[in-house]
Structure 1
Amino acid sequence: MDAREAFGEDDGVESWSPARSGVVVLPSGRAVRGRALSDGVVGDGDAPSFGLYLTSRPHQERWESRWLMWPDFRIPRFPSDAIAALRDAYDRSLTERVEIACAGGRGRTGTAIAILARYDGVPAEAAVAWVRAAYRRGAVETPWQRRFVREAPLARLP
C-alpha cells in the first residue's frame, strides 16, 4: 500500500513509477523524482505536476514550479526559504508528481532529497547515507551540504 492509498486520497494524478529514472521512494511510500537539468527536455508523458529547481539563476518549466537560488556545490542562499519550499514539495508528494532538479542532479538535488527523507522520518545523521543508497551514490557532494542535511531545523510534522 502506498502513501496515497493509506490516506485514502486519489486526485486522478498518476504517481511516479518506481521504475522511472531518478524516482526515489521515501520510507512512507511517497515518490519524488530527482533529475539533472543537463539531461535535457522532459517529454509530455514524463512531466511532473510540480517541480522545485535549485539553480544559481531563475529557472521555470511549463508546469507549476518554484525556483530556489542555490549555487552549485553550496547550500541554499536563503536556507529558511529552502526549508519551507522542501516542506511544500514533501507535502505535495503525497498526491502529486514532484520533481527536484539542479544542473547535474547530484549535489543540490541529493541534498534536497535527503531533507525530504528527514521529513519522512529518516534520522538526520542517517539521511545522507540513505539518499546515497536510494538515489545516487555521489549525492550530497560537499561537507557543507552534508552539514545542512544534518542540521537543518525542520518543523515537526503534525
Structure 2
Amino acid sequence: MTELWNADTPKLIHLPSGRMIRGRGLRYDLPEGQTPTFAVHLTDHEQPSSPWESIWVPWRDFWLPADPMDAMRKLRLAYERAPSERVEVCCGGGVGRTGTALSAICVFEGMDPKEAVKWVRQNYHPRAVEVPWQRRFIHQVFAADTSGSGQA
C-alpha cells in the first residue's frame, strides 16, 4: 500500500468516507511535498507525461467533458483508488472542472447533487462548479449512479 496524503496537504479534501483527494490547478507549480500516485487531468489537450500514473478526460474550460460517460468511469476509478493511493484531480485553474469532478465524486459518496456542490464549495473552493451546465453534469452523474448500472 502506498503512503497516503499527509493531512496538511494543500487543497486536499477529506471525503465523509475517509478518502482523501487533492484538487489542483495545472497552470500553477506543483506543490512541495508529496506527489500523487494517480492523477485525473481534466483538460482540452493531453498533458505531458508525468512520473506518476495519469489519465486524461478531454474537457474544455467552462464546458463539460467531451464524453460524459467516459468521464464518469474515470472519476469512479479515481474514487475507487483513493483509499489506498494519493489521488489528484486537476484542470487548468483547479476551480471549475476540478470542482465539478470533485462534486461528482461526492455523488459516489452518496450525496445528492446540490449537497455535493455545496460540500465542495465549503471544503475545497467557494467558486467550484462555475457554470449551470456543470451542475447539470453532476445531476447526470447522480442519475447514472443511482440507476443501478454501477457504471458511473
Q: State the TM-score, normalizing by the size of structure 2.
A: 0.90
Deviations 1:92-150 (A, max 9, x none): 00100000000000000000000111101212231111110111000000000011112
**Residue 127 of structure 1 contacts residue 150 of structure 1 at CA under 8 Å; is this kept in 2?**
no
Q: Which runs of 5+ in 2 are unaligned?
A: none
C-alpha distance in 2 between matches for 1:42 and 1:132 = 21
| 1:57 paired to 2:48 | no
**Residue 89 of structure 1 contacts residue 98 of structure 1 at CA under 8 Å; is this kept in 2?**
yes
Q: Give the root-mean-square deviation of aligned CA atoms.
A: 1.4
| 1:154 paired to 2:127 | no
Kindly report which structure 2 residues correspond to 1:120-131, keeping only aligned pairs within 5 A, or say none.
Answer: 120-131=109-120
Q: Point out 4+ residue stretches in structure 1 off by more than 4 angstroms.
A: none
1:81 aligned residue: 70
C-alpha distance in 2 between matches for 1:105 and 1:112 = 10
C-alpha distance in 2 between matches for 1:123 and 1:28 = 15
2:56 aligned residue: 67
| 1:85 partner SS | helix
How many residues are matched?
145
Deviations 1:43-74 (A, max 9, x none): 5x421010000000101322100011000001
Identical-pair percentage:
42
C-alpha distance in 2 between matches for 1:104 and 1:125 = 23
Q: State the TM-score, normalizing by the size of structure 1.
A: 0.87
C-alpha distance in 2 between matches for 1:17 and 1:147 = 33
Q: Which runs of 5+ in 1 are unaligned?
A: 1-10
**Residue 83 of structure 1 contacts residue 154 of structure 1 at CA under 8 Å; is this kept in 2?**
no
2:14 aligned residue: 25
